[in-house]
Structure 1
Amino acid sequence: MTRSIVAILRGLDPENALSVGQALIDAGIKKIEVPLNSPEPFDSISRLAKAFGDQALIGAGTVLTVEDVAKVAQAGGRLIVSPDCNRDVIQSTKAAGLLSYPGVMTPTECFAALHAGADGLKIFPGSLIGPDGVKAMRAVLPPECEVLAVGGADASNFAAWHAAGISGFGIGSALFKPDMSLDTIAHNAAVLVAAYDAVFTP
């Protein structure tokens, strides 16, 4: 099963990128984003892509400009995640052959992102919209559209999000913080994967 869990490694240091990436992949999380407001993010993305590009989908978060899309592609990343719905970023992402997941909060933004070519939608901040808001938007979105909840989703509420029609999650601090030990990150990943499988396994 391909789990739709995107690990958000905000604050990741390049020196720790491979050990953290290996721990996540071993636990069953195979979608990894390094936010561009992390230390030397393109270095981390390059290291992860070279080591794990054949096992996992590696990319960047907090991508705000067309120039950053090009840098991610050059580093070997294949996933572009943004906190906003920027048509230029979406279209440049698709032109580069990468996957686009822009941040959206309203039906208008959802459809603007899809019309621009987005591969999926990042509901952000999820804590403000909640499962009820997602359920309402799901009624009008294309059923095949992948919708990720980011911000406010963790193992304790996966079931509520799933019932609302969410496809998956972007998980940050519930999974990774720069000061966490590798054992803690691996434990967090295992808990999230178990919770995900319990809800999404047919």
Structure 2
Amino acid sequence: MKKLDYMNRIYDSGALAVVRADTKRVLEIAEGIVKGGVDVMEVSYTIDSAADSIIILRKKFGDKLLVGAGTVLDGETAKDAIKSGAQFIYSPMFDKEVARLCNQYQIPYAPGCTSVTEAVNALREGATFIKIFPYGGIVGPDLIKTIKTPIPYLPLIESGGVNTENIIDWLKAGTDIVGIGGALSKGNIDDIADNAKQFRNKIDEYRKQK
């Protein structure tokens, strides 16, 4: 039931840190978000040290942090990420081979989709969550609301333009999980922890009111 456990943990968190940094900085960010109550992070494969970072994070934080690989565009990269210990795969695009590998190894897959047709097709191929990319961050929460009206069961991640001021708008529109970049990557460990705590509190408060 590994995939189900990871999927539930991502949903329960409601937020994940989107990180593009070298290993030293990745570890600092991880320490900050865990301290602030956000326990899910993806490490982008746009950075050469991504695999090493995932290995080190898994060893250092254990069950305290769910670690995924981001910007995974093809099966070869997915295999490397899974071998390194990635517990979910996050991408700006959908790829059938990546979807099949994730299903084979029983880890969640969150591909980026640009249309409702692509999103539904990705679900049919076994995607766990759908990241609306890149239009969500450009158009805003109304896009999520529009998509969720005819397809309320679509599990959506928004990964652009989310901050502490507008996160409630995204959640109200139907976003299930938010991906957060800059707000959880800037400053020192305490700064990151403070920001993570703000996101944690807002998500928890919103869900209690639903």
**What is the TM-score normalised by the length of structure 2?**
0.87
Structural mapping, 1:46-61, within 5 Å: 46-61=55-70
Q: Which residue of 1 aligns with 2:194?
A: 187
Q: Per residue, is there more helix in 1 or in 2?
A: 2
Residue 85 of structure 1 deviates from its aligned partner by 1.5
Q: Which residue of 2 aligns with 1:8?
A: 18
Name the SS for the 1:78 alignment partner: coil
Residue 182 of structure 1 deviates from its aligned partner by 1.9
Tell me, which stretches of 5 or more residues in structure 2 are unaligned?
Answer: 1-8
Q: Deviations over 1:30-68 (max 9, x none)?
A: 111001112401011111112223222111110111011
Instruction: Choose which of 103, 120, 129 in structure 2 pairs with 1:111.
Output: 120
Aligned residues: 198
Matched residues in 2 for 1:51 and 1:185: separation?
18
Tell me, which stretches of 5 or more residues in structure 1 are unaligned?
Answer: none
Q: Which residue of 1 aligns with 2:144?
A: 134
Residue 74 of structure 1 deviates from its aligned partner by 1.0
Q: Which residue of 2 aligns with 1:88?
A: 97
Matching of residue 171 in structure 1 with residue 180 in structure 2: yes
Q: Which residue of 2 aligns with 1:199?
A: 206
Residue 142 of structure 1 deviates from its aligned partner by 5.1
**What is the TM-score normalised by the length of structure 1?**
0.90
Residue 87 of structure 1 deviates from its aligned partner by 1.8
Residue 154 of structure 1 deviates from its aligned partner by 1.3
Cα RMSD, aligned residues only: 1.7
Q: Which residue of 2 aligns with 1:153?
A: 162
Matched residues in 2 for 1:163 and 1:59: separation?
26
CA distance 1:53–1:68, change in 2 (3 Å): farther
Q: Deviations over 1:74-126 (max 9, x none)?
A: 11111100001222221222212221000112101110110110011112222
